[in-house]
């Protein structure tokens, strides 16, 4: 490579690399550094406290609860979004007017943003919301969608799934359309049932799409924040706080930036670890598809 | 890894990264308690305020308009919180190095004090309400417009009459008894809610009883003479028993503050524990019954009425980083001393100030009487002045008290609160 | 959607080019050769399922539209129907809310969407090209370096980013916000672009080089025009993520900049008044209506564009 070529390459690589480093890598380093201090966010003398924050993080009952809710939402939500996504993809994969309208109906919540979705469902499921107003006007008991911790957790996950599985559906539809016609034809001639064809031909063929969807759902759900703000505000009794919500609360409401940063680092590690585990587990299936 | 090749470019990334990291880390350690400047007679003053159903953005704009007219070239910019509230927003702004000039609603605490202008030298601060109680180490950082009475129980007079409650409860046992009668008469005895209301109401209710046992409860907690959990346990137990007996709605956590106000004002519930600002809401509401008020009861054997929980109404602080210290200070002086400005703020949010006459509703007259008759006034929540609990106590307490609704035992709640306080001290 | 980049693909970076994740959808012929809906009971079942899911998905929208025209009492008394008259008063009020000028929110958000998309393409395209065309280890490492960014939840990152932007003097400014949002789009854009460019034959580059084109010009004039599908996909993804972002504009723009996006505006207008349904429904309706209309008109392009670009990558 001559000097001019080297310069051109540098001009192509450096802007993105520098920006990425300054805006993403440096902040990650900063978060790690801050997690070792007791900084409140503005005072002049943050003290270095070593791993103390991390010890406190794991002993903190609020963190334990938030970690439980976050993991539950991520795992249950991932399973639900992908089962529904794949199921409806099969249902609407044929190109037709009805099907394309249906895809739109399934996908539209993604256009609304999680914040709007939360406010909207809050107005529907709240104690004075549409459903409970309807029930009480018929003399029935109020359903504690958002006022009982178990209900509220399930409600939160259900709304996450409602708002998100349309994206999975669209991706699965695209995946299904790549399955070679000849394979399906062959399976049919061999007398395979529909389920057998799906299980042994379609599913292996779209394995990489499944992996993409699983990891996508998982990463998105692990950082659930906006919906908590607008739907439950972490309540009742702080039982539906997610990790992202708790981190920002600790950092900005309680002024414990160091403590919050330690939680951030934990969340980053958990996210990366879970994504890697899923990929490892799916690796065999993916390779089967490529072969 | 393959053997390193000898091209200089390889090391660019780590070097740049290291340099940038060190720049930003230095920036962090450098501290942000910027000293601003005194500033001239003109400019724009940013005022971060609390926005509530009573205190709307329009109210604030109108409030400061006369000040702007009297001071040509001065523009007071009302800033509404972008976060959950004033506290979060100020914290974010401080972190961003972009604090407002004046902050309303918060009280100075030791963590915040280095960011605030010391107003002790100003003559006019001496006559503002609760100014001594709110001082830190004898220094005045926060000045307010009036006082909010906190420990009030509003009640539906029709409901009390219907249930045959003829004497207003002066003890907590008496209150429990009244609740039984109210429930039998078909009312929800006590209106509660989720949101921030749950913990606030229990604090308001217990101020008088706590004050009888601890002259300065906050200080005793700080000194380790008692813990929050230990001193609150009897009342947590009482509250839990109210939930179990159906005196409090078990689904109340699904309600927000305005829902609770509406439920009480539409006659669904018989009692509502709230601060004096509720009188302003009451004055505006259409309703077909009369609202009365009595001071939060005391525990058995204590003198009644007990001390009244009292907080500073519309407290203001001037941020040290302001470029217009003189102007900002003058704005605060005007807000807490100008007769019309004070009266407008008191009326808008149902607050009181000795010596300031304004037109009272009958309910406000009752509250004024309770304030006059109270044997003392005590701090509430995180407290103020030198004896404060860690920042965020109010929210943490609220969360734990809500646990009573979802099956946590009073003992577990008390323990959780104590462990929060000790880990945040 | 930003996180669409997946570890599965990370692992294939070393064995370029990665296996196609999604292949091109054939134009007309349905590839999943499902026989036309079979026996009558099956058909009934299918339609019943479709009806149920349509109801579950659309009821919130129905409630939103209907209740935006009603009084609070009316909403509480009969949320699913009418008991009183309809009114546009609350919509008018929501429109003239001083805390949330919806037109201004739209204008600012559209500006952000445009800027982030332009900068994202401008920055990610060239570096993806270099990575795709190089066999050097250092560029494979660079790819991994960028991909690591997909695992970092931006909600968590925003706190330290505040200090970086503050150091640069860019807190509460449009450039600061656009820089951060653009950065968040880089990892996946680079990944997707690089995968796509690998499917473009290198002969084209060589021919250009013979014609005397430098590397930079080769990319922009020869290769980039071939990348339309993948750029379209990224633009759609980035548009969603910028449009829907809440915590980043909330934190970085703050209250003093006077700048708000549609989401932070909605939060300011609705957050404190969640119990007043005459604020909630009209504000939400006004805030999402233009976007929904746009989505319905463009849905075919949006949904197919979303997947088309990943066909080869």
Residue A53 exposed, middle or buried by CB count within 10 Å (0-12, 13-18, 19+): buried
Structure confidence by residue, pLDDT tens digits, B342-389: 999 999 988 888 888 788 899 999 999 999 899 988 888 888 877 788
Prediction ipTM score = 0.90
Tell me, what's the pLDDT at B35? 66
Coil, helix or strand at residue B296: coil
Residue C52 in domain: no
Residue A43 in domain: no
Is pLDDT above 50 for B29?
A: no
Cβ separation of B93 and C256 shorter than 8 Å?
yes
Residue A35 in domain: no
Position with higher pLDDT, C156 vs C201: C201
* Chains touching A (3+ CB pairs < 8 Å): B, C
Tell me, what's the pLDDT at B294? 96
Tell me, what's the pLDDT at B34? 54
Structure confidence by residue, pLDDT tens digits, B136-176: 888 999 999 999 999 999 999 999 999 999 999 999 999 99
Residue B182 in domain: yes
Tell me, what's the pLDDT at C63? 94
Q: Residue C129 sits in which domain range?
A: 98-273
Q: Are residues B120 and B209 in the same domain?
A: no
Q: How confident is the model at residue A73 (pLDDT cuts 50, 70, 90)?
A: very high
Is pLDDT above 80 for C2?
A: no
Q: Are residues B233 and B155 in the same domain?
A: yes
Q: In chain B, positions 80-119, which contact chain C (CB-CB < 8 Å)? A: 80-84, 89, 92-93, 95-98, 100
Q: Per-residue DSSP letters for B111-124?
A: TTGGGB---TT-GG
Q: Count structural domains, chain B.
A: 2
- Whether C263 and chain B come into contact, CB under 8 Å, resolves to no
Q: Are residues B138 and B49 in the same domain?
A: yes
Is pLDDT above 90 for C38?
A: no
Structure confidence by residue, pLDDT tens digits, C47-59: 898 899 999 999 9
Residue A70 in domain: yes
Cβ separation of C53 and A107 shorter than 8 Å?
no
Tell me, what's the pLDDT at C25? 42
Cβ separation of C160 and A31 shorter than 8 Å?
yes
Query: Structure pTM?
Result: 0.87
Is pLDDT above 90 for B28?
A: no
Is pLDDT above 90 for B1?
A: no
Residue from the list C138, C264, C275 with its beta carbon closest to the beta carbon of B258: C275
Residue A56 in domain: no
Tell me, what's the pLDDT at B5? 37
Residue C121 in domain: yes
Q: Per-residue DSSP letters for chain C?
A: -GGG--HHHHHTTTSSSPPPSSPPPPSSS-SS-PPS--SHHHHHHHHHHHHHHHHHHHHHHHHHHHHTTS-HHHHHH-TTS-SS---SHHHHHHHT-TT--HHHHHHHHHHHHHHHHHHHHHHHHHHHHHHHH---HHHHHHHHHHHGGGGS-HHHHHHHHHHHHHHTT-TTSHHHHHHHHHHHHHHHHHHHHHHHHHTS-THHHHHHHHTT--HHHIIIIIIGGGGHHHHHHHHHHHHHHHHH--HHHHHHHTTTT----HHHHHHHHHGGGTT-HHHHHHHHHHHHHHHHHHHHHHHHHHHHHHHHGGGT-
Is pLDDT above 50 for A112?
A: yes
Residue C127 in domain: yes
Residue B17 in domain: no
Residue B80 in domain: yes
Residue B31 in domain: no
Is pLDDT above 70 for B229?
A: yes
Q: Are residues B291 and B411 in the same domain?
A: yes
**Taking residues A53-71, what's their average pLDDT?**
93
Residue A280 in domain: yes
Residue C35 in domain: no
Question: Which CATH number goes with the domain that contains B321?
Answer: 3.40.190.10
Cβ separation of C46 and A91 shorter than 8 Å?
yes
Question: Which CATH number goes with the domain that contains C170?
Answer: 1.10.3720.10
What is the pLDDT of chain B when averaged over all its residues? 87
Residue B35 in domain: no
Question: Which CATH number goes with the domain that contains A198?
Answer: 1.10.3720.10
Cβ separation of B91 and A239 shorter than 8 Å?
no
**What count of other Cβ atoms lies within 10 Å of the Cβ of residue C140?**
15
Tell me, what's the pLDDT at C109? 96
Is pLDDT above 90 for A16?
A: yes
Residue from the list A110, A119, A229 with its beta carbon closest to the beta carbon of C240: A110
Residue B27 in domain: no
Q: Count structural domains, chain A.
A: 1
Q: Are residues B325 and B300 in the same domain?
A: no
Residue B165 in domain: yes
Structure confidence by residue, pLDDT tens digits, C164-193: 999 999 998 999 999 999 999 999 999 999
Q: Residue B159 sits in which domain range?
A: 149-309+386-424
Residue C256 in domain: yes
Q: Residue A153 sits in which domain range?
A: 61-290
Q: Count structural domains, chain C.
A: 1
Residue B21 in domain: no
Cβ separation of B57 and C99 shorter than 8 Å?
yes
User: What residues in A contact B259, CB-CB < 8 Å?
Assistant: 127-128
Residue A284 in domain: yes
């Amino acid at each position: 490579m001559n000097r001019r070529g080297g310069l051109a390459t540098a001009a192509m690589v450096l802007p993105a690399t520098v920006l990425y480093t300054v805006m993403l890598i440096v902040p990650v380093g900063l978060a790690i550094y801050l997690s070792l201090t007791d900084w409140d966010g503005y005072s002049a003398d943050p003290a270095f406290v070593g791993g103390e924050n991390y010890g406190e993080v794991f002993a903190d009952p609020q963190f334990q609860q938030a970690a439980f809710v976050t993991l539950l939402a991520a795992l249950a939500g991932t399973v639900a979004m992908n089962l529904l996504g794949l199921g409806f993809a099969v249902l609407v994969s044929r190109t037709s007017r009805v099907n394309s309208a249906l895809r739109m109906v399934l996908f539209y919540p993604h256009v609304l943003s999680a914040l709007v979705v939360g406010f909207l469902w809050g107005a529907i499921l709240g104690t004075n919301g549409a459903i409970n107003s309807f029930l009480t006007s018929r003399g029935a008991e109020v359903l504690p969608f958002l006022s009982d911790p178990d209900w509220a957790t399930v409600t939160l996950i259900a709304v996450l799934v409602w708002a998100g599985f349309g994206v999975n559906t669209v991706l699965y539809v695209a995946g299904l359309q790549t399955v070679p016609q000849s394979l399906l034809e062959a399976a049919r001639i061999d007398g395979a049932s529909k389920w057998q064809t799906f299980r042994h031909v379609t599913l292996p063929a779209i394995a990489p799409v499944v992996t993409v969807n699983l990891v996508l759902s998982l990463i998105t759900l692990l950082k659930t924040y906006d919906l908590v703000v607008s739907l439950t505000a972490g309540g009742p009794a702080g039982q539906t706080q997610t990790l992202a919500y708790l981190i920002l609360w600790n950092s900005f409401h309680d002024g414990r930036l160091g403590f919050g940063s330690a939680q951030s680092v934990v969340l980053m590690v958990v996210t990366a670890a879970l994504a890697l585990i899923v990929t490892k587990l799916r690796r065999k299936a993916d390779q089967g598809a490529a072969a | 890894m393959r053997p390193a090749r000898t091209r200089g470019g390889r090391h660019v990334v780590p070097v740049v990264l290291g340099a940038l990291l060190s720049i930003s880390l230095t920036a962090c350690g450098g501290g942000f308690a910027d000293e601003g400047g005194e500033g001239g007679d003109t400019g724009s003053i940013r005022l971060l305020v609390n926005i509530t159903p009573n205190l709307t953005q329009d109210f604030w704009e109108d409030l400061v308009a006369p000040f702007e007219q009297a001071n040509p070239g001065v523009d007071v910019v009302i800033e509404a919180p972008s976060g959950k509230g004033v506290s979060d927003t100020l914290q974010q702004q401080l972190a961003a190095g972009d604090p407002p000039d004046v902050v309303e609603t918060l009280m100075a605490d030791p963590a915040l004090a280095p960011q605030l202008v010391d107003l002790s030298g100003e003559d006019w601060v001496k006559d503002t309400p609760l100014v001594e109680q709110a001082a830190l180490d004898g220094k005045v950082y926060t000045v307010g417009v009036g006082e909010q009475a906190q420990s009030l129980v509003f009640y539906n007079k029709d409901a009390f009459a219907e249930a045959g409650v003829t004497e207003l409860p002066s003890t907590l046992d008496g209150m429990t008894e009244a609740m039984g009668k109210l429930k039998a008469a078909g009312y929800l005895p006590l209106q509660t809610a989720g949101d921030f209301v749950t913990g606030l109401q229990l604090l308001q209710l217990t101020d008088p009883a706590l004050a009888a046992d601890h002259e300065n409860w906050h200080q005793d907690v700080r000194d380790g003479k008692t813990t929050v959990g230990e001193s609150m346990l009897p009342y947590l137990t009482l509250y839990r028993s109210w939930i179990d007996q159906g005196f409090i709605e078990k689904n109340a956590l699904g309600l927000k503050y305005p829902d609770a106000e509406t439920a009480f004002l539409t006659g669904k519930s018989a009692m509502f524990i709230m601060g004096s600002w509720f009188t302003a809401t009451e004055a505006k509401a259409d309703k077909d019954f009369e609202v009365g008020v009595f001071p939060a009861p005391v525990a058995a054997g204590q003198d009644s009425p007990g001390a009244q929980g009292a907080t500073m109404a519309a407290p203001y602080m001037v941020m040290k980083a302001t470029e217009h210290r003189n102007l900002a200070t003058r704005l605060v002086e005007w807000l807490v001393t100008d007769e019309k400005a004070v009266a407008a703020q008191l009326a808008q949010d149902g607050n009181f100030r000795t010596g300031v006459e304004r037109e009272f509703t009958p309910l406000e007259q009752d509250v004024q009487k309770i304030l006059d008759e109270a044997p003392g006034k005590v701090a509430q929540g995180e407290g103020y002045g030198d004896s404060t609990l860690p920042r965020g106590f109010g929210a943490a307490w609220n969360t734990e008290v809500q646990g009573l609704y979802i099956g946590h035992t009073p003992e577990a709640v008390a323990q959780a609160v104590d462990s929060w306080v000790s880990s945040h001290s | 959607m930003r996180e669409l980049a997946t570890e599965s693909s990370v692992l294939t970076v070393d064995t370029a080019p990665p296996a196609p994740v999604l292949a091109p959808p054939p134009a007309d012929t349905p590839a999943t050769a499902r026989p036309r809906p079979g026996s009558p009971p099956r058909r009934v079942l299918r339609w019943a399922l479709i009806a149920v899911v349509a109801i579950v998905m659309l009821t919130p929208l129905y409630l939103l539209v209907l209740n935006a025209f009603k009084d609070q009492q009316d909403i509480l008394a009969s949320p699913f129907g009418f008991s009183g008259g309809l009114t546009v008063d609350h919509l008018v009020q929501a429109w003239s809310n001083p805390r949330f000028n919806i037109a201004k929110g739209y204008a600012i958000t559209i500006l952000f969407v445009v800027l982030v998309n332009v900068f994202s393409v401008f920055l990610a395209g060239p570096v993806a090209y270099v990575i795709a065309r190089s066999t050097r280890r250092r560029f494979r490492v660079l790819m991994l370096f960028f991909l690591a960014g997909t695992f970092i939840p931006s909600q968590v990152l925003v706190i330290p980013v505040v200090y970086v932007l503050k150091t640069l003097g860019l807190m509460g400014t449009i450039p600061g916000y656009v820089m951060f949002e653009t950065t968040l789009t880089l990892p996946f854009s680079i990944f997707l672009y690089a995968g796509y460019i690998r499917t473009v034959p290198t002969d084209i580059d060589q021919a250009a080089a013979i014609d005397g084109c430098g590397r930079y010009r080769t990319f922009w004039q020869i290769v980039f025009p071939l990348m339309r599908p993948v750029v379209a996909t990224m633009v759609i993804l980035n548009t969603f993520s910028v449009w829907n972002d809440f915590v980043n504009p909330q934190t970085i723009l703050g209250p003093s900049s006077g700048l708000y996006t549609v989401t932070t505006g909605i939060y300011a207008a609705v957050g404190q008044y969640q119990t007043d349904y005459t604020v909630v429904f009209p504000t939400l309706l006004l805030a999402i209506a233009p976007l929904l209309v746009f989505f319905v008109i463009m849905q075919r392009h949006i949904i197919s564009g979303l997947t088309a670009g990943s066909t080869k990558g």
